[in-house]
Amino acid sequence: MSVRHGSFTLTRRYDATPARVFAAWAIPEQRSRWNVHGSWTVTEQTFDFREGGEEVKRFGPAGSDPVHVARTRYADIVPDRRIVMSSTTRDREVLTSVTLLTVQIGPDGSGSQLVLTYQAVMLDEGDRIRTARKAGLRSSPSWARRSSTLLPRLRGRCPRHRGRRGHESHITTTHDPSVRVRRRHLPIRMGRAT
Amino acid sequence: MTERSVRHAKFTIERIYPAARERVFGAFADPRSKAKWFVGPDNWDKSDHTLDFRVGGKETVSGGPPGGAVHYYNATYQDIVPNERIVTTYEMHLDKTRISVSLATVEFKAAGSGTKLILTEQGAFLDDFDKPELREEGTRGLLDQLGAALEKGVV
């Protein structure tokens, strides 16, 4: 039995209005286009985007029978501004983590800034890793990788352009020192999805 | 534009109780026991406490100073390992306003003939209606009440 608590924050700038960025989370057809990374696949997804709404997503590496199931409950939704949700993730019916995820969206010049804060408790990690090794699986997908494919239909801009004159952020977020802030400066290219 | 903010925070509280692990865990698991210590200050008006202690089960309680705003606690049990661990997610409302969403882990470890309890809360505190410092202070008060209930032998 073990528990490990962790957190991280990701910041992105998108050349799209807060309403469009919010819609990419709120509207099922739009979220389906980006909310799984790279070679992973989603085989089951229900949508219920409202406060108190619950969703189920079954996912895993493409070509395998997905064994990861995430159940998400939306706790707080402020249109175009904020989404707070809690999730459980199970691997072959075994609970592996419970997560609190906050998405904050605000205007940033002509575009938007998105701040994603992930707080979680990882359960019985050693046991889980041994199980995963036996099954030859890789680690579960991370939000950092997923956010690099975030909103593929929106044109994004590298976060280092933030802070330019006239690009004042309207997002207020405060973190205690235990929250690790990761600012990535990848030239995120978000072309039009075909 | 309406001011919106989120303050993310984490705090950990440790307690050692001179009581067996099964008894301390039981004070969380048994609805009648939990209602004895998981309550606001003596002078507050209080609602009934409801607890459905199983994975997916809910817990509710509310209360507040006479004539003042009512604090509502609504939790969902996410993980239960008997005598070892409880993980909940919960929301707090002040009247109709949601003021926080939290993830709380309680671990129970044997410490000699007693029990070491480790409570870790990770939270998103919304729009400056509540502060992590106040939540931590309130949670310490609840764990003190648990200690007193164990000492009196009422849980």
pLDDT digits (tens, 9 = 90+) for A85-95: 999 999 888 99
Percentage of chain B with pLDDT > 70?
99
Among A41-45, A129-133, B20-24, the range with the most confident prediction by mean pLDDT is B20-24
Partners of residue B8 in chain A, C-beta under 8 Å: 7, 9, 102, 117, 119, 173-176, 179
Contacts of B3 in chain A (CB under 8 A): 172
Selected residue of A74, A87, A98 to mutate for chain B interface (largest B Cβ count, 10 A): A98
Of the candidate CATH numbers 2.40.30.60, 3.40.710.10, 3.30.530.20, 3.40.50.800, the domain formed by B6-152 belongs to 3.30.530.20
Poorest-pLDDT segment among A78-82, A166-170, B20-24, B62-66: A166-170
Interface membership of B101 toward A (CB under 8 Å):
yes
- Residue B2 neighbours by CB under 8 Å, 6+ apart: none
Helices B132-152 and B21-29, axial angle in degrees (round to 10):
120
- Verify whether the Cβ–Cβ distance A98 to B87 is below 8 Å: yes
* Nearest neighbour of A100 by CB, restricted to B5, B122, B132: B122
Q: Is B85 on the interface with A (CB under 8 A)?
A: yes
Q: Angle CA(B49)–CA(B84)–CA(B62) in degrees, nearest 5? A: 15
- Chain A residues near residue B135 by CB distance under 8 angstroms: none
pTM, entire model: 0.83
Q: What is the ipTM of this complex?
A: 0.94
Q: Give Cα A78 to chain centroid, integer Å.
A: 17
Structural domains in chain A, sorted by start: 3-38+76-182 (3.30.530.20)
Q: How confident is the model at residue B144 (pLDDT cuts 50, 70, 90)?
A: very high
- A84/B124 touch (CB, cutoff 8 Å), yes or no: yes
| Residue among B4, B9, B132 minimizing CB distance to A78 | B4
**With contact defined as beta carbons under 8 Å apart, do A52 and A148 qualify?**
no
